[in-house]
Amino acid sequence: MKNLEYQTKQAFLFSLAFYCISIISKFFYFEIFPILFSISLLLSLIWVVLVLREIIFSGRISNTERMLLALFIIFFNIVAGLFYFFKFREKVIAKK
């Protein structure tokens, strides 16, 4: 199975950047907001799928942790992504 470690983080960072840009465009009433927000939602969907793949195929965490992390990622999207990438990811994809 191909390791998509860097693509997952890259998709998250792009999603975060597009969310920030779209919020700024909404704040300043730019008409491009719907397009930027749609792109950020699409990128968010991509990184959520990639993170769920990492969690499911991880042999380093228990089934309970796996389920809780998956629910956390699905329901709290960007905030959960920040916690996942800066705190939990090392445990999930720990190198041998």
- pLDDT averaged over 10-residue windows placed end to end, the chain, 96 residues: 80 93 94 93 94 92 94 94 91 77
Residue 62 carries which side chain, given as an amino acid letter? S
What pLDDT was estimated at residue 94?
79
* 17, two tokens: 């950047």
Amino acid sitting at position 39: I
Distance CA 33, CA 27 (A): 9
For the chain, give every domain's residue range.
Answer: 5-91
